[in-house]
Amino acid sequence: MFSEADVSLLQSIVQRDLGTALWETLYMTFLPTILAFIIGLPLGILLVTGEENGIHPLPKALMKALNVIINLLRSIPFLILLVVVLPVSKFLMGTQVGSPAIIIPLAIAAFPFIARLVETSIREVDKGVVEAAEAMGATPFQIVWKVLIPEARPALISNFMVALITIFGYGAMAGIVGGGGIGAIAINYGYYRRRQLVLFLAVVLLILIVQILQSIGNVITRKSDKRIR
């Protein structure tokens, strides 16, 4: 089914490049996700708490501008955003090639998505719990820190895993513009050289990693959900 050249190339990749590619793939997945969550979590909370009927209303112009910016960034396809932001990576990271260069575009692509996921999670919190905290004299910060985030924790963890797997897919696509990881192996060795065995290996590895990440996320989500204890 596969030629000797395919098998020989695959053996060479496994021995020489696979370990580094796996590390780069995880690095390009977790670091941008964490950076994007650091930005997206407060933004998502602000989208709920800062609205007109929220616990800490903000000027309508500010809220509208925030929504427009988030929607605008979400509407740009990742590959186009990647190409546009690479000069920023060159300035900040000193390179436009490899895994470090992809971190900034991945974080920028992910944080608006995470902000919307966080917004959805926070809106699912029972309003009666929030009203009870307000009646007890809790400040907006206390309500956010001690009510909204704890009550929304299972949904936040679940959405974190959704974002993680989405960024994982983005990172694999980044191989087409010089990013590292398994995506680069699939593009450089499998697609450009037309080595189907290498493509097959890359697809299997990507599927396995996604399944492992999702399984871990499901376990953590269940353990954090007080409703099923």
What mean pLDDT is predicted for residues 185-199?
A: 81
Which residues lie below 8 Å from residue 161, measured CB to CB, with a gap of 6+? 213, 214, 216, 217, 218, 221
CATH number at residue 199: 1.10.3720.10
d(CA 157, CA 107): 18
pLDDT value for 2: 63
pLDDT at 66: 93
pLDDT tens for 65-88 read 999 999 998 898 888 888 888 888
Note the pLDDT of residue 58: 92
Question: Is residue 65 classed as helix, strand or coil in its secondary structure?
Answer: helix
Q: Rounded CA gap, 216 and 161, in Å?
A: 9
How big is the chain, counted in residues? Answer: 229
Cα radius of gyration (the chain): 21
**Can you tell me which residue has the tokens 């000069």?**
87
Distance of CA 208 to the CA centre of its chain: 18
C-alpha separations of 219 from 37, 147, 159, 210 in Å: 20, 23, 14, 14
Q: Please give the tally of structural domains in the chain.
A: 1
Instruction: Give the structural domain span for 115.
Output: 4-228
Give the predicted TM-score (pTM) of the model. 0.86
pLDDT above 70 coverage of the chain, percent: 96
